[in-house]
Structure 1
Amino acid sequence: MKQMFGGPGEISGIILRMLQGTFAAIALGILSSVPGVCTNTPFCFLLVQQCVQIIWCFMLICLDLKVLVSGGRLPSPIHVMVNLAFDWCIWMLSLGAASSTASVVELFWANSICEKWREYNCRRYQAAVVMAFIAVAFQAISVHIWMWIAASSFLPRLH
């Protein structure tokens, strides 16, 4: 397996996963502080998705630490493909959740719902969406890294 920035067993990989999980946790904390957040489906979906993303980040940090301790080798190319598949699926779900929530927040602002009904806490929703998009950006980097690792695991070595 080729060593690369953000890859398993690299300190940069652990930092990448920690940043991703931290921004997901901040988004989760902001959303959790809004009363009645699960009365709106996109916000509830984002809340659940951030929980899933935090769990996935923790699992990848554990994998990074295992690879770091064991000398920098992943168990097999199949293991790489499974991680790539899960990372990609969670990234797509996170992107969908952040995008749908952002569109609802924009709808609230465009139709002056935030001024009419203060209980919607639009500023908190905006902050949560921004944090979710930052977490999605870190996850996109992670998916890109897993794709390169998968390609280097399966393609024959060119001399």
Structure 2
Amino acid sequence: MKRVVESPGTWSGMALRLSQSVCAAASTFSMVSGFGYSNYSAFFSMNLALILQLLWSLGLAYKDIFALRNKKDLHTRDNLLIIVMVDWVVAIFMFSAACASASLTIFFMRDVNFCAAYSRLACRQFTLSVVLAFITWLL
């Protein structure tokens, strides 16, 4: 089978999964350090999607490291089918949660000016978290 860039068991695949993990962890930390995120379901679902993405990416990064270290081939039909299916499910969940959180952040910042009225809301951290979630999804 032909080796594709960023496929399982390659150095680029491991780098992709580690960068996904770093962006997901940074976005989660940015969201959790803000006050009041759990009061809104869009932010809560984005945080849940980010944790799921973090666990999935770390698991695949460990699998890539194991395959590279022991010179194992991860390009079996069953292995690739599971990875592709779970990747699609996690990507759809990440995109929908990031879009919902982005719309809520825009609503708070621009439409009703909650950020100006309630200074305890960490709107800049919410914005940073949404941007990092979209970067995670793009990776």
TM > 0.5: yes
Residue 4 of structure 1 aligns with which residue?
4
Distance 1:9 1:87, change over 3 A: same
Correspondence list, 1:1-150, <5 A? 1-74=1-74, 76-110=76-110, 111-138=112-139
- Does the CA-based 8 Å contact 2:8-2:75 persist in structure 1? no
Question: TM-score, normalised to structure 1's length?
Answer: 0.82
Tell me which moved more, 32-41 or 63-72: 63-72
Letter of the aligned partner of 2:40 in structure 1? N
Cα distance in 2 for partners of 1:58, 1:28 equals 15
The answer as to whether partners of 2:24 and 2:136 remain within 8 angstroms in 1 is yes
Q: Which has the larger radius of gyration?
A: 1
Deviations 1:61-84 (A, max 9, x none): 122123223435126302211111
The residue type paired with residue 133 of structure 1 is F
Structure 1 unaligned blocks of 5 or more: 139-159
In the alignment, the residues of structure 1 paired with residue 109 and residue 47 of structure 2 have an alpha-carbon distance, to the nearest angstrom, of 21
Deviates more, 1:97-106 or 1:60-69: 60-69
Q: 1:75 to 1:10 in 2, by over 3 A?
A: closer
**CA distance in structure 1 between the aligned counterparts of 2:106 and 2:70, rounded to whole angstroms:** 48
Q: Tell me which amino acid in the other structure corresponds to 2:120.
A: E
CA distance in 1, matches of 2:61, 2:19: 11
Change (3 A) 1:83 1:95: same
Tell me, in whole angstroms, the C-alpha distance in 1 between the residues paired with 2:122 and 2:109. 11
Which letter maps to 1:43?
F
Q: Is the 8 A contact 1:8 1:68 kept in 2?
A: no
Identity %: 25
Opposite residue 28 of structure 1, the aligned amino acid is T
Instruction: Tell me the distance in 2 between the aligned counterparts of 1:21 and 1:99.
Output: 19
SS at match of 2:120: helix
Give the structure-2-normalised TM-score.
Answer: 0.93
For residue 26 of structure 1, report the CA deviation from its aligned partner: 0.3
For these two proteins, the number of residue pairs brought into alignment is: 138
Per-residue deviation, 1:35: 2.0
